[in-house]
Amino acid sequence: MVSLKDIAAACGVSVATVSKALNNHNDISEDTKKRIRKRAEELGYMPNSAAKALKTNRSYNLGILFVDEARSGLTHDYYAALLDSFKRTAESMGYDLTFINCNKTRINNMSYLAHARYRGFDGVCIACVDFNDPEVVELVSSDIPIVTIDYVFDNRMAIYSDNVKGMRDLVSFVYRMGHRRIAYIHGADSAVTQARLSSFYKTAQDLGLDIPDDYVMEAPYRNTEVTFRDTLHLLDLKTPPTCILYPDDFAAFGGINAIHSRGLTIPGDISIVGYDGIRISRHINPRLTTLHQDTEQIGHLAAKKLIDLIEKPKTTLIERVCVEGVLYEGDSVKNINLAKD
């Protein structure tokens, strides 16, 4: 195994200089660092992670707490893209990722906090969980650096999508297209759902729209069976909506199937809107009108901010970072204004 002494001999420098170069110290030149690192790579030098952990008091391992009750797992388009961005950023900064076991098969039935300590995580990213779960609250209340996704705790770093503006942009676009009878099948109760639903009602109020109670229904996220049934219910109303908003793009497929089962067309007979901006939504016919969430930026910022908390705890501010999405107009919303002209 190649040692620091071997690299020092090959470069004609001291072992101390090699150590400083490999650890990116500022008291040697960039040219010297590059030369030593290149020679170390050529010799096949691999740092001892255990020794590095002892020296720095870090494991260079981040925990991911991801509890998806819908059992979509990493096939969940939004979280899969977000966590992929998180992973790439963390790895580029020298960290590995490990998922915290959320099943009952945990070692000695450890709590999330106990598991995080057992694994020696330097920090934990929490996404897609029941944030009221006592085990989650215990973890958040600990001294471990934490970043949350789409949920805000006091005195904890949070990165979240701007669901208020996202919903406002969608409803405003549908309104500009001439629609006044707008229904909303929202997701199950969560902080994200509450933000979107409040924004839906507030935007409708600002636009002077009346939203009947039977225009607002609930379906679990990514559940096409319930959105199928809810859509049929909306279509059967005495005065049906001209446009239906769905909790997410995947759930919208249930609505699409329901509309087609009645022999209706989109957007000729009824318009629809999704949320998330998943890739497939731009490749169906008609292309889905949706709000694309910036998963790349959310994941990147979550990893960057968490590592800042670990490496620069005294100077890193606890922030709540709101990331805006982008409206994809698509082709699934009919311009009723044209029909009136």
18 and 104 together in one domain: no
Nearest to 113 by CA among 133, 92, 91, 87: 133
Residue 228 domain-assigned (yes or no): yes
Domain that residue 20 falls in: 4-47
Same domain? For 84 and 208 the reply is: no
For residue 234, being part of any structural domain is answered with yes
The verdict on residue 66 lying in a domain is yes
Q: How confident is the model over 241-255, as pLDDT tens digits?
A: 999 999 999 999 999
Alpha helices in 180-269 (DSSP H): 191-206, 224-235, 249-261
Same domain as 131, residue 168: no
Does 52 map to a domain? no
What confidence score (pLDDT) does residue 106 get? 56
- Give 244-289 as a DSSP string: EE-SSHHHHHHHHHHHHHTT--TTTT-EEE-SB--GGGGSSSSPPB
- 333 in the same domain as 188: yes
Domain count, the chain: 3
The answer to whether residue 55 sits within a structural domain is: no
Residues 310 and 168 both lie in one domain: no
Task: Give the domain CATH number at 80.
Answer: 3.40.50.2300
Same domain, 280 and 309: no
> What are the residue ranges in the chain where pLDDT is below 70?
47-56, 68-74, 103-108, 339-341
In a domain, 116, yes or no: yes
**What is the pLDDT at residue 168?**
98
Tell me, what's the pLDDT at 236? 97
pLDDT of residue 124: 97
Verify that 23 and 127 share a domain, yes or no.
Answer: no
Domain identity same for 311 and 258? no
Q: Which helix (H) or strand (E) holds 184?
A: strand 182-186
Q: Are residues 83 and 202 in the same domain?
A: no
pLDDT of residue 153: 93
Among residues 235, 220, 333, the alpha carbon closest in space to that of 286 is found at 333
Is residue 42 a part of any domain in this protein?
yes
Residue 53 lies in a domain: no
Burial 30-52 (b: 16+ CB within 10 A, else e): eeebeebbebbeeeebeeeeeee
In this structure, are 265 and 168 located in the same domain?
A: yes
Q: Are 221 and 249 in contact (CB under 8 A)?
A: no
Looking up residue 9, the CATH number of its domain turns out to be 1.10.260.40
- Are residues 182 and 280 both part of a single domain? yes
User: Do 177 and 287 sit in the same domain of this protein?
Assistant: yes
